[in-house]
């Protein structure tokens, strides 16, 4: 609807901020790497300190890329859900996909005392087992939602259904936690904290590939998302096939939310906060051609900032990222909404 060129300045601002935060983020951690060294190593210049190079290339850069990719993907997922459900409170978790992932992980870690013959895993294989369990869990909920979608023809019922799936899986997780062993409980709680730094380069490649598929579907749906701003009936009168479009949007957000949760654990509020932030920054258009890429950049920026805070500058501790995103995200939304009303 709107010309992209009008928003060049805004996009330059977002990309500039993202670059600044990236450099800042790379210099943070338990080992103090000066900003200038960080920039040099990132750009591939030779360095006098091989330890710095090792820390940056093998840990901090993959972690920063993971943060930007998952943050952006969660933001896009939130935007798609908010437009589809015409509900500003919708986010990546409304369909219950992530709860499905949690259920998978909980079953693996805490149900394994009952099903010990099913899951025999070593400490080394544990991370992959968790990823597979999370993927299977989110896929299960995804299938249930697809079956429900075929029977329902309105988005509000689907929204309620997703929330119910979420509550149901949360209840099962709770019961599993009650019976789980101390060690299993600890592992589960650590997983639920979320972690961006646990991912290595080859895993990052797989994650990027999956997210790219989810994002491509979202980009392909931009035209239909714009039509949906008028409501489902008008969208249909503009030539949108509602059923096909619904499957595409659910598929896209399931991939985005499911893959993110499987690889880095649950990360709250980014998917909710990023679209709100961008919509307030650019109030002159609702065109998804502008808003969707902006939300991707905004989500990437938000999670990168949260990750920088989680490092606690100058200390050896890393706080749970899921706690930080909620700690930053919730007040941010409160602030934005209060300012909007005023």
Partner 1 sequence: MITLNKLTTGYAKNGVSKEISTELQLEIKKGSLVGILGRNGIGKSTLIKTLAGFQKPLSGNVQVLGKTVHEMTPQQRAKCLSIVLTERKFNGDLIGKELIQLGRQPHTNWRGKQTPEDREIVSQIIKQLNIEQLADQMLKTMSDGEVQKILLARALAQQTPLIFLDEPSSHLDLFNKSLLFQEIKQIVRKEGKTVVFSSHYLNTTIQICDQIILLLNNQWEYGSPDELIEKGVFENMFPKETVLFDPKQKQFNICI
Note the residues at the interface with partner 1 (CB under 8 A): 1-2, 86, 220, 222-223, 226-227, 229-234, 236-242, 279, 283-287, 289
In the bound state with partner 1, the residue whose beta carbon lies nearer, of 213 and 327, is 213
Q: Can you tell me which residue has the tokens 């210049």?
A: 45
In the bound state with partner 1, the residue whose beta carbon lies nearer, of 63 and 289, is 289
In the bound state with partner 1, the residue whose beta carbon lies nearer, of 213 and 309, is 213
In the bound state with partner 1, the residue whose beta carbon lies nearer, of 40 and 223, is 223
Question: Residue 205: which of 157, 161, 263, 123 has the closest Cα?
Answer: 263
DSSP for residue 198: T
In the bound state with partner 1, the residue whose beta carbon lies nearer, of 219 and 318, is 219
User: Which residues, including other chains, have CB under 8 Å from residue 241's CB and lie 6 or more apart?
Assistant: none
User: Which residues, including other chains, have CB under 8 Å from residue 270's CB and lie 6 or more apart?
Assistant: 71, 74, 75, 78, 299, 302, 303, 306, 325, 329
We find the least distance from the C-beta atom of residue 85 to partner 1, in angstroms, to be 12
We find the least distance from the C-beta atom of residue 337 to partner 1, in angstroms, to be 14
We find the least distance from the C-beta atom of residue 273 to partner 1, in angstroms, to be 17
We find the least distance from the C-beta atom of residue 223 to partner 1, in angstroms, to be 4
User: Which residues, including other chains, have CB under 8 Å from residue 177's CB and lie 6 or more apart?
Assistant: 106, 110, 185, 188
DSSP string, 98-158: HHHHHHHHHHHHHGGGTSTTT----HHHHHHHHHHHHHHHHHHHHHHHHHHHHH---HHHH
User: Which residues, including other chains, have CB under 8 Å from residue 202's CB and lie 6 or more apart?
Assistant: none
Cα dihedral value 140, 143, 144, 149, nearest 10 = 160
We find the least distance from the C-beta atom of residue 227 to partner 1, in angstroms, to be 6
We find the least distance from the C-beta atom of residue 86 to partner 1, in angstroms, to be 7
In the bound state with partner 1, the residue whose beta carbon lies nearer, of 78 and 166, is 78
We find the least distance from the C-beta atom of residue 154 to partner 1, in angstroms, to be 11
In the bound state with partner 1, the residue whose beta carbon lies nearer, of 63 and 279, is 279
Say how many C-beta atoms besides its own lie within 10 A of residue 283's C-beta.
8
Judge whether 196 and 63 are in contact, CB under 8 Å: yes
């Amino acid at each position: 609807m709107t010309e992209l060129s009008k928003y060049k300045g805004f996009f330059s601002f977002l990309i500039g901020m993202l670059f600044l935060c990236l450099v800042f983020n790379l210099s943070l951690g338990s080992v103090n790497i000066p900003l200038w060294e960080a920039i040099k190593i990132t750009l591939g210049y030779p360095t006098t300190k091989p330890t710095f190079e090792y820390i940056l290339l093998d840990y901090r850069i993959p972690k920063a890329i993971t943060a930007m990719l998952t943050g952006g993907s969660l933001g896009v997922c939130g935007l798609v859900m908010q437009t589809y459900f015409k509900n500003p409170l919708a986010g990546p978790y409304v369909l219950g996909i992530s709860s499905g992932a949690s259920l998978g992980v909980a079953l693996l870690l805490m149900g394994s005392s009952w099903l010990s013959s099913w899951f025999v895993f070593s400490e080394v294989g544990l991370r992959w087992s968790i990823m597979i369990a999370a993927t299977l869990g989110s896929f299960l909920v995804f299938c249930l939602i697809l079956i429900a979608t075929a029977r329902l023809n309105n988005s509000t019922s689907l929204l309620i259904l997703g929330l119910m799936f979420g509550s149901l899986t949360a209840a099962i997780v709770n019961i599993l936690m009650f019976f789980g062993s101390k060690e299993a409980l600890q592992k589960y709680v650590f997983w639920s904290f979320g972690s961006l730094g646990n991912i290595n380069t080859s895993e990052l490649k797989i994650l990027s590939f999956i997210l790219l598929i989810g994002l491509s579907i979202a980009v392909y749906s931009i035209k239909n998302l714009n039509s949906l701003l008028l409501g489902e009936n008008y969208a249909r009168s503009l030539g949108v096939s509602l059923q096909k479009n619904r499957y595409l949007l659910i598929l896209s957000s399931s991939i985005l939310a499911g893959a993110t949760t499987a690889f880095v654990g649950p990360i709250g509020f980014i998917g909710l906060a990023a679209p709100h932030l961008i919509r307030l920054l650019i109030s002159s258009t609702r065109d998804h051609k502008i808003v969707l890429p902006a939300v991707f950049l905004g989500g990437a920026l938000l999670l990168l900032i949260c990750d920088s805070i989680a490092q606690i500058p100058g200390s050896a501790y890393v706080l749970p990222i899921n706690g930080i995103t909620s700690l930053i995200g919730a007040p941010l939304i409160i602030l934005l909404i209060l300012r909007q009303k005023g």
